Amino acid sequence: MSDRYHETPQHWILRTELLWAFGVGVLVAATITIIVFTALTRNINPPSNVERVDPKTLHLSGEFAEQNLGTVVAADGTVTARIIATQFMFAPHCIAVPEGRLVTLRFASPDVIHGILITGTNVNTMVVPGYVAQVHTEFTRTGELLMPCHEYCGLGHSEMWANVQVLSAAEFKPDRDGRVTCAQH
């Protein structure tokens, strides 16, 4: 008869619990490894940006003034979209972005906490008044994507959404100022 048979039930239970704890430890380590591996090899990270902005003067001047909203291509080719999330709309309501190029999305809120996600992508962030929420991403398919507010922000929350129009290289044509607006279909 094996030695195990002569152990008391308490020993056997303790052994099982230790084995289970070891298994859970392995799973936790594997999960952390996957997260780090993905971040290092695929450039997939939780969006993180600590940048203050005054919500009271958002619309008056600076980066989020009305004339600066929407998509702009800088001289060096970087694409940045600036969007205001406010009760209960996004400005602009449609955001044009290119397919297959790195895009920087910058959001600010003048009122309450909002949140955005873009369907079919990993873009997902909170928009907190007083801070600029920034997400870098690359859109892999052309087409219209929905961008709803996903943080309850008031009675009109369910009406708060925008379109993201992913345009092919041929369609994504900046004007003289580098600005790109949604194509009218």
Selected from 69, 84, 96, 123, the binder of other proteins by CB under 8 A is 123
Q: Which residue has the tokens 């809120």?
A: 109
Phi-psi region of 125 (alpha: psi -120 to 50; beta: other; left: phi over 0): beta
Q: Is 46 in the site for other proteins (CB under 8 A)?
A: yes
- Quote the least distance from Cβ 117 to other proteins, whole Å: 11
- Give the binding-site size for other proteins (rule: CB under 8 A): 34
- Quote the least distance from Cβ 50 to other proteins, whole Å: 14
Binding to other proteins (CB under 8 A) within 130-159 occurs at 135-138, 140
For residue 104, the cross-strand partners are 80, 136
Nearest by Cα to 97 from 1, 10, 179, 172? 172
Radius of gyration of the chain (CA): 24
Structure-token pair, residue 93: 């309501």
User: Between residues 48 and 184, which has the closer beta carbon with respect to other proteins?
Assistant: 48
Structure-token pair, residue 164: 């993201």
Q: Which residue has the tokens 């450039």?
A: 43
User: Between residues 17 and 159, which has the closer beta carbon with respect to other proteins?
Assistant: 17
Q: Is 33 in the site for other proteins (CB under 8 A)?
A: no
List residues binding other proteins (CB under 8 A): 5, 8-9, 12-13, 16-17, 19-20, 23-24, 27, 31, 34, 38-39, 42-48, 102, 120-124, 135-138, 140
